[in-house]
Chains A and B, each alone.
Chain A
Amino acid sequence: MTADGGSVAPDPPERPAIEVRNVSRWYGNVVAVNGITFSVGAGITGLLGPNGAGKSTLLHMLSGFLRPSSGELRVLGQPAWHNPEIYRFVGLVPERESVYSFLTGLQFVRLAAQLHRLPDPDAAAARAIAEVDLVDAQDRATGGYSKGMKQRMKVAAAIVHDPQILLLDEPFNGADPRQRLHMMDTLRRMAGEGRTIVFSSHILEEVERLAENVLVVVAGRLAASGDFREIRRLMTDRPHTFTVRSSDNRCLAAALVADPAVFGVELDGERLRVRSSDFAAVTLALPRVARRSGVTLFELLPTDESLESVFSYLVNR
């Protein structure tokens, strides 16, 4: 999507779009964000954490609506705080449901285009509304929209100027499954065009389905960052569990116990549970041991690779 008057980012593309260095934010004696450092480039990044973890505070700082108490926060090389110029390249979808209820959807998005001084606000608004698939509802007052429709129209207003960075605070709140899927497709398409998209969520499934990278915030600290499966592999202090179905589970269990990569085997009806602290080693060992034992492997599943298990572990650690 290209909006009229879309601006060119001030920094070379190899520089991370968002850089956060040792950023903290406190309210009186309460520390909301504590010494967080990360950088984010093109693609979709999920900011995950339970309610009160500090992810909204972090997103507000990224969007220039909160001053970091300490540390440095740059968006496309520019400070986010006290710098309205960043909004030429940044689109923001706030968490709060409120919109100008007396405006129609089209008027609301056109207002955003006008405030960005786009040369053809009508065309830009029409394009953005088509992007979120709300053309049929664009002439109705937004006050009568469902929560999910408001969310989508807010996304349309945020992308009307074709921003390089899109920040979304709990964007799937109130959206029904169809709207959710549609918005996920829209965000994937935008990310595919080289944009940087950061969204916050406390819903694990949303992050797991959409985000290529995850920033897990727990109690104001960055508990983990990167690909969530990679994060899981790095957590060597917690065993990985695999479920195995084979031609002879008992024989395979006996052989696996002797392998140094495996430290626990459990027969569970038709299946065999294998525990290991080394993800890579056990995935190599299992077929080798099975072949040596003359056992055929029918199925090998890592049982705890969901984001939920990673998240629960990080929260309870």
Chain B
Amino acid sequence: MITTIAMLTLRQLLGKRRTIVLSLFAVLPVGLALLFAFRGDRDPAGWTATRLLAQIVVGTLLPLAALVFGTAALGSEIEDGTAVYLLSKPIPRWRILAAKLLVAWAVTSAFVVVSAVVAALVALQGAPESGRILAGFSVAIAAGAFVYSCIFVLLSVVTSRAFITGLIYVFVWEAVVTRLFTGTRVFSVRQYTLGVADLAAGVNEKVFKSQLDGTAAVILMAVVALVAAVLAVRRLQSFETGEAG
């Protein structure tokens, strides 16, 4: 059952236009890595971890891809009315949501991890701790993609303006507010992801150091993902459609 819904969702998400636009975004870090490699900087590990992966990939590409796929996985069907074909079947709503969530997460992870690994390989040029950086950030991106997907799928069943709300969260809350007020970092998936990257990579502090403790980041990730997924299921169980008429 979950497979049937997942396959349907995959075909929906990988529409031509959406895939092309996100592929262009995914190529961006690789382009920057090539420029960096040509310039011949003396600290490839530090630049790759703190600039390329932490700022460009985790700070921009990851939330953007998760936003596009997470809000579209179920939100586009709710918007165009096709969700009724899934919801009018004798299927527990949690299964529908699980299928949507898994596909949004898998597609986001695939896009971003592949982009991050290729870009990092180009930029690192075999620098010390390259393997740790690659592995740590890959794990963190996959984990971050899951939490973002939970949040954005939840947004798509709560509001018809999920994409705009998500953009505000990513580019106002995470990019601006959490920088100005350090206490708000515990509500930032970007900070969780960087915390997990730090924990998983375990590289020298001079190469990369997150602002949120790794263990706290893992716990917060689990809590936020669980709460968002449960709320999304509950919202879908009480999903109402139609207007007076």
* Interface set of A (CB-CB < 8 Å, partner B): 27, 30, 32, 51-57, 60, 63-67, 82, 84-88, 90, 92, 94, 96, 98-100, 102-103, 111-112, 114-117, 157
Given the contacts A98-B82, A102-B15, A111-B4, A57 and B90 also touching, CB distance less than 8 Å: no
Q: Is B243 at the interface (CB under 8 A from chain A)? A: yes
B81 touches A87 (CB 8 A): no
Q: Is B91 at the interface (CB under 8 A from chain A)? A: yes
A85, A88, A100 pick with most chain B CB within 10 angstroms: A100
B237 touches A82 (CB 8 A): yes
A85 touches B90 (CB 8 A): yes
How far does the alpha carbon of A161 sit from the alpha carbon of B122 in the complex, in Å? 54
Contact among A60, A84, A102, A114 for B90, CB-based, below 8 A: A84
Additional A-B contacts beyond A65-B87, A94-B84, A112-B89 (7; CB < 8 A)? A54-B244, A66-B241, A84-B90, A88-B90, A98-B80, A102-B11, A111-B85
How far does the alpha carbon of A86 sit from the alpha carbon of B88 in the complex, in Å? 9
Query: Could you write out 15 A-B pairs with CB less than 8 Å apart?
Result: A56-B244, A65-B87, A65-B239, A65-B240, A84-B90, A84-B93, A87-B90, A92-B84, A94-B84, A96-B80, A96-B84, A100-B12, A102-B15, A103-B11, A111-B4
Residues of chain A contacted by B81 (CB below 8 angstroms): 94, 96, 98
How far does the alpha carbon of A114 sit from the alpha carbon of B15 in the complex, in Å? 23
A116 touches B90 (CB 8 A): yes
Contact among A56, A99, A116 for B89, CB-based, below 8 A: A116
Residues of chain A contacted by B241 (CB below 8 angstroms): 60, 65-66
Residues of chain A contacted by B91 (CB below 8 angstroms): 84, 115
Residues of chain B contacted by A157 (CB below 8 angstroms): 85
Interface SS of B by simple majority:
loop
Produce 1/0 per residue, B69-94, CB < 8 A to A: 00000000000111011111111110
Residues of chain B contacted by A53 (CB below 8 angstroms): 245
Question: Which residue on B lies nearest to A31, using beta carbons?
Answer: B244
How far does the alpha carbon of A94 sit from the alpha carbon of B245 in the complex, in Å? 13
A102 touches B12 (CB 8 A): yes
Question: Which residue on B lies nearest to A167, using beta carbons?
Answer: B88
Q: Is B182 at the interface (CB under 8 A from chain A)? A: no
Q: Is B40 at the interface (CB under 8 A from chain A)? A: no
B245 touches A56 (CB 8 A): yes
A117 touches B1 (CB 8 A): yes
Q: What are the nearest 3 A-B pairs in CB distance?
A: A96-B81, A32-B244, A60-B242
A52 touches B92 (CB 8 A): no
Contact among A27, A56, A82, A92 for B88, CB-based, below 8 A: A92
How far does the alpha carbon of A223 sit from the alpha carbon of B85 in the complex, in Å? 32
Residues of chain A contacted by B11 (CB below 8 angstroms): 102-103
Question: Which residue on A lies nearest to B237, using beta carbons?
Answer: A82
Residues of chain A contacted by B15 (CB below 8 angstroms): 102
A67 touches B238 (CB 8 A): yes
Contact among B92, B238, B242, B244 for A30, CB-based, below 8 A: B244
